Amino acid sequence: MHFVTHPWINPGTIENRAYQENVVKNALTANTLCVLPTGMGKTSIAALVAAERMQNMKGKVLFLAPTRPLVNQHKNNFERMMKLGVEMHVITGEQKSEERFKLYKNGDIFFATPQTVRNDIKHGLLDLADFSLVVFDEAHRCIGQYSYVYIAKVYMNRAKEPLILALTASPGGHRYKINEVRDKLFIKNVEIKTREDEDVKPYVQTVNSEWVTVDMPIPFKSVHSYLSAIKNARIKKLISWRVINSPQTTKSQLLKLQETLAAKKTGSAYGAMSLIAEVIKVDHAMLLLETQCLYALQKYFEKLSGEETKASVRLMAEENMKNAVRLTGELLSEGKEHPKLEKLTELITEELKNKDARIIIFAQFRDTISRIAESLAEIKDAAPVEFIGQAKKKGKGLSQKEQIQILNEFQMGFYNILCASQVAEEGLDVVETNVVVFYEPTPSAVRKIQRSGRTARTKEGRVIVLMTKDTRDEAYHWSAHRKEKQMKKTLYDMQRGMNQKTMSEFKRG
């Protein structure tokens, strides 16, 4: 194994890989979006670009990441890679403003969340004029009103010689999203590498992907029929009112329609909004039934029963809804659950025959995660733990300190199964895992790529996707597949187009 030699980099810390070298070389010429699979060395690339800029430009470096655990993780990695004498600081909102002001004056490399940096720029604590590099980690977040957008704009306006390095495993499944990220970060170069690229293949392990399908049981189909009847009746009414044109209206379309109706401020508009709210609520119940578990559905019914909005009160008074609630309760009291849970238990039991197994199970909803952890705890040799985000209103959650503690304990072997929400998809340095299970497919290309990236870093890995036949599980799976394919094509086109443009400019010069 050969390592990078650089005056500012510790020997034996960054492996010399041709694809990283090429990305670094191009990233030093202009603002660059670097798209690499998880575990392929985005942080090493950032450290090499930072070392070059600091050596030649003598300017400061700012490394931004969405969460504090991720910020601390990047600082730890940089401390391992960079030579002693480079002064590095984590900047947080918990530090007093005077302390942050002093750190900005004296330090070389700063690791921070974007919200803190945005506030410090606005309050005059931080001037980006002398920064030679800003790194935007998880760059796909740079859309809408996210703080990255403001920081990038100020940096490009203020810095004497600005350079942006944007890092992500996936910038999005749609061209317009990729374009937005590119435009908001003033990107000139796109560098994409996938596991299939010839110069990457020597450094990646095999990922074996498989789909495991289950049938929806007949009693579940009865609950589904009750819910479907409620939804269809309301859709029919909205069509007769000419509020919508088609029964195939998506949730995002309905939410936008509610905003449009709210602006009208008429009695009929409010009536339509309430009806749309009922459609959205009953559709969510159907989603839980199809893709999650009865426990999560029952918890949702309990939540609706406690709400005092007109939509919820009307919905819970409906005869079909009462039947759906009753049947769900009866099935649970008889010990029935979603067949995915039974299939998951089988798969995990088999995996745990390997005493060193490390498994991550991703699920979208916290009630499902609780039910999964509870079910798997009954398996011999299983030590599951819930890994979720910070507390929401009236809900449980983990602080960032608790999240880090659980990851450390997972690494040390106190736990061997991480039952995780979206919080484990992005950035955090999760120990090598043998198996990643999607309890449900995700329609997002970004999330699909991030979930899959949690295995096969240093050894062969396995990705298992659970799907309920003839439900939106199947639609979501194929949606993410199409988006990922489109994303790669778009990025490769951009990479080729930008490189050709650069060559033609070079020839003209």
What is the reported pLDDT for 503?
A: 38
Yes or no: say if 436 and 452 are a contact pair by the CB < 8 Å rule. yes
Q: Determine which helix (DSSP H) or strand (DSSP E) holds 165, and give its type and residue range.
A: strand 164-168
What is the reported pLDDT for 68?
A: 86
What is the reported pLDDT for 105?
A: 95
Q: Return d(Cα 50, Cα 114) in angstroms, integer.
A: 19
Q: Return d(Cα 133, Cα 7) in angstroms, integer.
A: 18
Sort 394 into a burial class: Cβ within 10 Å, 0-12 / 13-18 / 19+. Answer: exposed
Q: Return d(Cα 232, Cα 371) in angstroms, integer.
A: 30
Q: How far is CA 326 from CA 289, 294, 302, 323, 332, in A?
A: 14, 12, 12, 5, 10
CB atoms within 10 A of CB 247: 11
What is the reported pLDDT for 499?
A: 54
What is the reported pLDDT for 456?
A: 64
What is the reported pLDDT for 387?
A: 94
Q: Return d(Cα 454, Cα 38) in angstroms, integer.
A: 7
Tens-level pLDDT at each residue, the chain (509 residues)? 799 999 999 999 999 999 999 999 999 999 999 999 877 889 999 999 999 999 987 899 999 999 888 899 899 999 999 998 999 999 999 999 999 999 999 999 999 999 999 999 999 999 999 999 999 999 999 999 999 999 999 999 999 999 999 999 888 878 888 999 999 999 999 999 988 888 888 888 888 999 999 999 999 999 999 999 999 999 999 999 999 998 888 899 999 999 999 999 899 999 999 999 999 999 999 999 999 999 999 999 999 999 999 999 999 999 999 999 999 999 999 999 999 999 999 999 999 999 999 999 999 999 999 999 999 999 999 999 999 988 776 678 988 889 889 988 998 999 999 999 988 776 566 767 889 999 999 998 888 888 888 776 667 889 999 999 999 999 999 999 999 899 889 989 988 876 555 434 433 33
For 224, the token pair is 């589904």
Q: How far is CA 122 from CA 125, 147, 151, 153, in A?
A: 8, 12, 10, 13
What is the reported pLDDT for 169?
A: 87
Q: Return d(Cα 4, Cα 458) in angstroms, integer.
A: 20
Domains along the chain with CATH numbers:
18-203 (3.40.50.300), 218-333 (1.20.1320.20), 338-471 (3.40.50.300)
Amino acid at 147: S
DSSP 8-state secondary structure symbol assigned to residue 6: B
Q: Return d(Cα 235, Cα 249) in angstroms, integer.
A: 9
pTM, full prediction: 0.85
CA of residue 305 relative to chain centroid, distance: 31
Nearest residue to 131 via CA among 99, 93, 105: 105
Q: Nearest 10 degrees: CA dihedral of 435, 414, 425, 116? A: -160
**For the chain, counts of helices (H) and of strands (E):** 18, 13
Q: Nearest 10 degrees: CA dihedral of 357, 410, 38, 84? A: -130
Yes or no: say if 225 and 219 are a contact pair by the CB < 8 Å rule. no
Measured distance between the N- and C-terminal CA atoms of the chain, rounded to whole angstroms: 40
